Amino acid sequence: MSDHNHHDSETGYGRFHRRVFERKAGVFAVATTVAISVGALVELIPMFTASSSASWERVDWVTPYTPLEVAGRDIYVREGCYLCHSQMIRPMRAEILRYGPWTRAGEYQYDRPFLLGSRRLGPDLQRVGGKYPDAWHYEHMRDPRSTSPGSVMPVYPWLIDSKIDPADIAASVRALARVGTPYESTDEAWVAGRLQSQGATIVQNLASAGITAEWDDEIVALTAYLQRLGVEGRAHLANQGGDS
Amino acid sequence: MEQSTSGTVATPASRPDYDMDIVKKFFTATVVWGIVGMLVGVVIALQLAWRPANLGLPWTTFGRLRPLHTNAVVFAFGGNVVFTGIYHSMQRLLKTRMWNDTLSRIHFWGWQLIIVAAAVTLPLGLTQSKEYAELIWPIDVAITLVWVVFAVNFFATVAIRKVEHMYVAIWFYMSFVITIAVLHIVNSLVIPATLFRSYPIYAGLTDALVQWWYGHNAVGFFLTTPFLGLMYYYLPRAADRPVYSYRLSIIHFWALVFLYIWAGPHHLLYSALPDWAQTLGMVFSIMLIAPSWGGMLNGLLTLKGAWDRVRTDPILKFMVVAVSFYGMSTFEGPMMSIRAVNGLAHYTNWVIGHVHSGALGWVGMISFGMLYWMVQNIWNRPLAYPSWASHHFWLATIGIVIYTVAMWAAGLMEGLQWRALDDAGRLANPIFLDITHRLNPFLWLRVVGGSMYLVGAVMMGINFWKTIRGPSAPAGARVEGV
Ligand code: HEM
Ligand code: HEM
């Protein structure tokens, strides 16, 4: 058995290909690398140069995630919430009606990793901040059906019992600062202080709904994260006078 | 002919001393991980149809098991099947044993350890969250090292080859070895915070673009080019026909590797990514039809003169259905890259239907065909239960059809209902969950289709087990080929 109809390899570029590429593995490997590099360089290089300075991705109306929000975001990643929830509202009438103003590039400028998501098994969360009181999130995470009858979202009762670790979060804040997120300070005392003060506000809100929680409960950190999603963008875009 | 895939008829004594043990190792790992990965697929399918299947435990919820499914089927099943085929076919195509047996074994055990590490860390919630690049940074480092070992062994084996020309399958393998290395390194650049956690050096949409450049090309260079390489070796072997067109293979190879890399932004259409990048992604995706169909046609036309055997030989049936699904998903993909179409399909089950017509139809079926051909060949035994191969074929084919049709229907339905407005211009379905509930019958259909596919794979596993442990063919009589 032969692998090719041999005659068609004896003329034109077939012959050239046989002589040069198929006989010299080094040439073949370099040519392949060049072939895959062109598109990659054309698309990626402008992004890198753009995101390094004042650019299309930089805006001054979005602030970095606070330490408590960083902790909450890490929980969101750990639980794979992004596999059911997108964080990207598209510039389409129905999406704007359902979720709010479409998402601008600058709103993601501190997102590491990005969490746009590619599926909507649940609603988009990019502007969920402020949509519900803190107590709603507490109940919803404990058992989604308590707030949303017939929900298909899984239950997350362990978020109520588990604790965040300030030293661990300080390590995250340091790593984020190293890649350029502007934090006032990265030492553990500062991080712990910020965690406690922001956590205390949420604990108070929960208490007024009759729920007892502590500042270092995971559910508090996750709530802090969810409640800030899209809020600054919504305020800014409203000032700009447009709803879309 | 010097470039033939099978060479002149050789007596067993004069055949080069190929390393068959490494092929058997990867073969076994393929079957085991394939069944595990598909089982997890059926579990998460059940979780979406029936919430209690999440079990209320942290490590069994959908959000933690879904990455386990994708990693298991893509890197454990897909990876091992590709390595099985590469180690088997490249030694024959290059007429030489692998350059270094120790490197082959480091590759094998290293890859299996990485899979085990993934299977432990993902349910624990240790993840970087990027799809198909979830594994935490220490595992990423291990992947890099194991890949270097594989690449060194691969290129050294090419260098010591005993034939002058590299056959087309080798071109595709080479593009796989090179491109996956580049993609993996660029997408994994992070600053570690702890042993288990890290943050990417890219932020926001730049991070998203790097990830989908990676993600789309993981499809292109992990689930497509190496499998085309397998097709170019095993389809002609199984059909006993020469490859239809040599020139077509040259054009479609170079066009495919050049065009694929541009298409990533079709995952970010309607995002705030600059328009020029979105447009490039869309245009190059549409152009991708041509080289993709070049590969499909070269595969199907290779069967010219062998179609009578397709009706009776389950191995050829698997391969024909595989190549047809390849053609179908590479037609659907470009359509879904058109902005307006993507506006409807994005975020919906339609994408899941597309994914699995490629994954179950193309990747799965070409693998099964190859494995059935190979088990008889490398263990030199006839199949223990030949009729089971046929049953497997039908279970898998009907399973795929049920799965994908259900997902297309569900995807269209939710896409249309999310956007529907009433006469007053308000949302016609303001409650998200109302739409979700209407999808439920389709999600159950997927459980059915997926289970059929899984049962077929388990039957294949049992068949292989019995075959390998059964008596070998009488001395002198070789079962297939070689
Ligand atoms: C037994 C058969 C299988 C079943 C029942 C199954 C089921 C599933 C389910 C339920 C999901 C999640 C869908 C969602 O998020 O809505 C999924 C995702 C996925 N599966 Fe499978 N699967 C199977 C086999 C495979 C195989 C063999 C492959 C690859 C070779 C594969 C590749 C993937 C990929 C890449 C995704 C992620 C898709 C995306 O993010 O858009 N699956 N599968
Ligand atoms: C010419 C070829 C192809 C093109 C242009 C293409 C295009 C696309 C598009 C537009 C999406 C949807 C992105 C979105 O809206 O979220 C997609 C998703 C996907 N496709 Fe393809 N496709 C092609 C072939 C294939 C093949 C052959 C496979 C499988 C072997 C495959 C696997 C996937 C996967 C896994 C996803 C889901 C990614 C995710 O969201 O996680 N594609 N593809």
Per-residue HEC secondary structure of chain A comes to: CCCECHHHHCCHHHHHHHHHHCCCHHHHHHHHHHHHHHHHHHHHHHHHHHHCCCCCCCCCCCCCCCHHHHHHHHHHHHCCHHHCCCCCCCCCHHHHHHHCCCCCHHHHCCCCCCCCCCECCCCCCCCCCCCCCHHHHHHHHHCHHHHCCCCCCCCCCHHHHCECCHHHHHHHHHHHHHCCCCCCCCCHHHHHHHHHHHHHHHHHHHHHCCCCCCCCEHHHHHHHHHHHCCHHHHHHHHHCCCCC
State the pLDDT at residue B468. Answer: 96
What count of CB pairs under 8 Å joins A to B?
A: 285
Whose CA is closest to B216, among B294, B131, B292? B131
- Whether B427 sits inside 8 A of A97 (CB atoms) is yes
Record: contact B246-A14, CB cut-off 8 A: yes
Kindly list the residues from chain B whose CB atom is less than 8 angstroms away from the CB atom of residue A33.
178, 182
Q: For residues B217-230, give the mean pLDDT.
A: 96
Decide if pLDDT at A7 tops 60: no
* pLDDT on residue B481: 40
Task: Output Rg (C-alpha) for chain B, integer angstroms.
Answer: 22
- Is domain A67-239 given the CATH code 1.10.760.10 in the classification? yes
The answer to whether the CB atoms of A47 and B192 lie below 8 A apart is no
- The answer to whether residue A54 scores a pLDDT higher than 80 is no
Tell me the C-alpha distance between B317 and B327, whole Å: 15
CATH fold, domain B2-469, is Cytochrome C Oxidase; Chain A (1.20.210)
CA atoms within 13 A on the CB side of B369: 31
Whether the upstream peptide bond of residue A113 has omega within 30° of 0, thus cis, is yes
**CA B267/CA B286 separation, integer angstroms:** 14
pLDDT score at A11: 67
pLDDT tops 60 at residue B6: no
pLDDT band, very low/low/confident/very high, at B422 (cuts 50, 70, 90)? very high
Confidence of residue B374 (pLDDT cuts 50, 70, 90): very high
Q: What type of residue sits at position A50? A: A
Contact B298, B241 (CB under 8 A): no
Q: Which ligand is nearest to the CA of B364?
A: 1
B5-19, B207-221, B256-270, B388-402: least confident range? B5-19
Nearest-neighbour CA in chain B from A41: distance (Å): 9
CA distance A23 to chain B (A): 5
Contacting residues for A55 by C-beta, under 8 A, at least 6 apart: none
Helix, strand, coil % over all residues of chain B, rounded to 5: 75, 0, 25
Q: Which residues of chain B lie closer than 8 angstroms to A37, CB-CB?
A: 261
Q: How far is CA B387 from CA B42, B141, B298, B390, B394, in A?
A: 25, 45, 29, 5, 11
Confidence of residue B274 (pLDDT cuts 50, 70, 90): very high
Any B CB within 8 A of A7 CB: no
Q: What does the alpha-carbon distance between residue B328 and residue B190 come to, in Å, rounded to a whole number? A: 37
Q: What is the pLDDT of residue A173?
A: 98
In this complex, which of A47, A97, A150 lies closest to B437 when CB atoms are compared? A150
Both tokens assigned to B2: 């010097």
Pocket of ligand 1 (CB under 6 A): A 118-119, 121; B 38, 41-42, 44-45, 48, 66, 69-70, 73-74, 78, 131, 351-352, 355-356, 359-360, 363-364, 450, 453-454
In B, minimum Cα distance to A117 occurs at B347
Residue B2 has pLDDT above 50, yes or no: no
Rounded average pLDDT over A64-89:
98
- Could you tell me if A190 lies within 8 Å of chain B, comparing CB atoms? no
Looking at chain A, how many residues does it have?
A: 244
Distance from CA of A160 to the nearest CA of B (A): 12
Taking only residues 42 to 101 of chain A, the set having a beta carbon closer than 8 angstroms to any beta carbon of chain B reads: 42-44, 47-48, 50-51, 56-57, 74, 77-84, 86, 88, 90-95, 97-98
Cβ-Cβ contacts under 8 Å, A57 against chain B: 203-206
| Contact status, residue A44 vs residue B277, Cβ threshold 8 Å | no
Say what the pLDDT of residue B201 is. Answer: 93
Confidence of residue A4 (pLDDT cuts 50, 70, 90): very low
Nearest CA in chain A to B259: A39
**Looking at the CA of B224, which ligand is closest?**
2
- Ligand 1: atom nearest CA of B352 is 41
User: Considering every ligand atom, which ligand is closest to the CA of A82?
Assistant: 1
Q: For B89-134, how does the pLDDT look when each residue is reduced to its tens digit (9 = 90+)?
A: 999 999 999 999 999 999 999 999 999 999 999 999 999 999 999 9
What mean pLDDT is reported for chain B?
94
DSSP SS3 for B200: strand
User: Are the Cβ atoms of B433 and A172 closer than 8 angstroms?
Assistant: no
Q: Are B208 and B271 in contact (CB under 8 A)?
A: yes
Predicted local confidence at residue A8, as pLDDT: 53
pLDDT confidence tier of residue A53, bands split at 50, 70 and 90: very low
Nearest by Cα to B60 from B153, B106, B125: B125
By CB neighbour count within 10 A (0-12 exposed, 13-18 middle, 19+ buried), where does B423 fall? exposed
Of B377, B411, B374, B422, residue with least CA distance to B81? B374
Convert the pLDDT of each residue in B20-64 to its tens digit: 999 999 999 999 999 999 999 999 999 999 999 999 999 999 999
CA distance B363 to B356: 9
Average pLDDT for A79-102: 98
Task: Tell me the residues of chain A between 136 and 175 that have a Cβ less than 8 Å away from chain B.
Answer: 148, 150-158, 168, 171-172, 174-175
Top mean-pLDDT range of A22-26, B6-10, B115-119:
B115-119
B396 token code pair: 């898998």
Cα–ligand 1 centroid distance for B70 (angstroms)? 6
Structural contact between residues A145 and A47, judged by C-beta atoms closer than 8 angstroms:
no
Q: Which residues of B touch A69 (CB under 8 A)?
A: none
What is the reported pLDDT for B473?
73
Token pair for B313: 């030989």
Q: Could you tell me which of B465, B7, B203, B393 has the C-alpha nearest to residue A52?
A: B203
Q: Residue A5's pLDDT is what?
A: 46
Only one residue has tokens 């956007």, namely B419
Closest CA to B138 of B186, B189, B196: B196
Total number of residues shown for chain B: 482
CB A174 within 8 A of CB A181: no
Q: Among residues B99, B104, B106, B108, which one has the least CA distance to residue B79? A: B108
Helix axes B168-187, B79-94, angle to 10 degrees: 140
| DSSP summary character for residue B75 | I
Q: What is the mean pLDDT of residues B434-458?
A: 98
What's the confidence (pLDDT) of residue A14? Answer: 84
Q: What angle do CA A135, A137, A142 make, to 5 degrees?
A: 100
Q: In angstroms, rounded to a whole number, what is the distance separating the alpha carbons of residues B26 and A60?
A: 53
- By the 8 A CB rule, do B467 and B461 touch? no
Tell how strand B198-200 and strand B190-192 pair up: antiparallel
| The one-letter amino acid at B33 | W
* Beta carbons within 8 Å of B303's beta carbon, 6+ residues apart: B235, B239, B241, B310, B316, B320
Average pLDDT over residues B250-256: 96
The mean pLDDT of A162-174, rounded to a whole number, is 97
Only one residue has tokens 């016609």, namely B428
Q: Is it the case that residue B461 has pLDDT exceeding 70?
A: yes
Instruction: State what percent of residues in chain A have pLDDT above 70.
Output: 91
pLDDT at position B242: 94
What pLDDT was estimated at residue B3? 40
Delimit the domains of chain A by residue range: 2-55, 67-239
Q: CB distance from A2 to chain B under 8 Å?
A: yes
Helix (H, G, I), strand (E, B) or coil at B199: strand
User: B426 with A97: CB under 8 angstroms?
Assistant: yes
Compute, in angstroms, the gap from residue B275 CA to the centroid of ligand 2: 20
Write the residue with the smallest CA distance to atom 4 of ligand 1. B41
pTM score, two decimals?
0.95
**With contact defined as beta carbons under 8 Å apart, do A160 and A219 qualify?**
yes
Which among B66, B164, B246 has CB closest to A5? B246
Question: pLDDT: is B410 or A239 the higher one?
Answer: B410
**Cα–Cα distance for residue pair A220/A216, rounded to 1 Å:** 7
Query: What does the alpha-carbon distance between residue A72 and residue A86 come to, in Å, rounded to a whole number?
Result: 16
Q: Which of A28, A44, A93 sits opposite B171 (nearest CB)?
A: A28
Least confident range from A52-56, A151-155, B308-312: namely A52-56
